[in-house]
A and B are shown apart, each in its own frame.
Chain A
């Protein structure tokens, strides 16, 4: 028995919304980053589910790419958060506001 495609989409959308909620509410940079990972994974769920649904592998392959890229992104992100901490003594993303308006 296969799960109908709608449920996958609903799942991914739910995940996406959770991620979005995290992005909007988390002030800790790391939490922010994790929320973004949730968003990416929501997309991955979609890709894989649709690949299954459409019967081609494109989506699955792409999901792999996406995961690799997410990892790279995290690497860069962590680097930036590190220097952020060095400069601002904090990882709160709302603290650096020297530039605005």
Chain B
């Protein structure tokens, strides 16, 4: 129990801190627009994201949003437009972690670039949006938060204005994003039409009361369009098309940020919307079908497309991009496996996966950032023999790869196993089988990267590579966390399950 009772609005502390940091960065930059003090900017951004992380962890540990005896209970703000429960805090933690890693890594990556302050503040604004998504409890706030996350992301992807790849990536991301958000908005309007409400809880009550029975087609179409919007954010098939290009063309830290944090944020709204607003049984009564069927199909197709497309890539970043799509497929199991009589196990497993993914995938992309910082090139062949020059970073890369492949003894194994086991328990034999097959395939291309850096001989002799502190620190922290999560997975399981139980 806390000795001091904080005012209720502080429950959104992590998001607010991120927003404040973004504004602070603007302010600092406005004080002397002509000079750029990178240390100060990066310091502020790091401090802000770490503070947000600290607060989120603190809240989570202290029992904010926990429903138990020693918890504070779920905190609802602005008439239930926002809600801070364990789920929200859990995802805020993920977002904050990734943000912190990305910000630290960007210090070196962005060295020499213009628009430093803008860069950091856009990152933090996007993070704010994502943190807000975690707490949003109404389709309105969800949409706004989503846009708050998306718009800075478009800008961030194309921030390397003279880089054709970056611009192309930004364009594609933006166009697909615009289309998707339009579809999402249209879905919201249909759901609103069918139920008359935008707040999740109210929608559920209407459906449960059977008042929406007359609008089965409308509601069904609306739900389908909502799935579309979410699929865009999580980079799931068929809305994944932006991802390979955006991740490939964007500055690598941004790729890391988008593929980890943005995806997690996409999943949190998916989890919340579908559990809170569309109770499975009642919705099925209206639209005549379990919406989990859609997620089953999406999960299988997404993981298969992602993994298969990743298998033969030559460009490392693009391989990681497709792998990221594959992982979205894994996490979709969290929704596919929901059932009327519970499902916190499967959703919890998906949440665990997103946390671990936050470390290992961010780490992997940050390694790419490091490689871009060195200027060694982009393909597997360019990476050949890096292990001789930069053993520590490459060791970390091996950890990320094997963890992404989900093989022990790394954190990725646990979350993948829990997904698998809960899918089995949910009776999704086909999904579980697809998970296994795709994992087997993924091992091939992940180990290809390990092979490149550790096994292959360098194509040409390199000079010693620099060791940028920020990038190294971020990578090492991510790697250590990926390893430590193996023995220390117990608390993660407990937290994730509790968070999932909050909404299921």
Contacts and interface: CB of A to CB of B under 8 A. Distances in A.
Interface in B171-217: 171-172, 174-175, 178-179, 181-183, 185-186, 188-190, 192-193, 196-198
Contact of A73 (B140, B151, B218): B151
A72 B198 contact: no
B171 A46 contact: no
Overall SS of chain A's interface: helix
Given A43-B189, A59-B192, A88-B164, A83 B158 contact: yes
Contacts of B85: none
Contact of A36 (B154, B182, B244): B182
Contacts, number: 134
Nearest to A59: B192
Contact of A62 (B171, B193, B196, B198): B198
B118 to A, nearest CB: 12
A14 interface: no
Contacts of A76: 151, 154-155, 174
A39 B171 contact: no
Counting chain A residues whose Cβ lies within 8 A of the other chain, the interface size class is 35 or more
Contacts of A46: 186, 189-190, 192-193
B313 to A, nearest CB: 8
B168 A65 contact: no
B151 A39 contact: no
Interface string A28-65: 01001100100110111011011101101011011001
Interface string A58-101: 11011001100100110011011101101110000100111110
A65 B140 contact: yes
B144 interface: yes
The listed residue with most A CB atoms (<10 A of its CB), out of B171, B175, B183, B188, is: B171
A18 interface: no
Contacts of A51: 192
B196 A56 contact: yes
B167 interface: yes
Nearest to B189: A46
Interface in A5-23: 5, 9, 12, 16, 19, 23
21 contacts: A9-B218, A12-B186, A32-B175, A43-B185, A43-B186, A47-B189, A50-B196, A58-B140, A58-B192, A58-B198, A62-B139, A62-B140, A66-B143, A73-B178, A80-B158, A81-B171, A84-B167, A88-B164, A93-B175, A96-B172, A99-B248
Shortest beta-carbon contacts, A-B, top 4: A39-B182, A46-B189, A54-B196, A96-B168
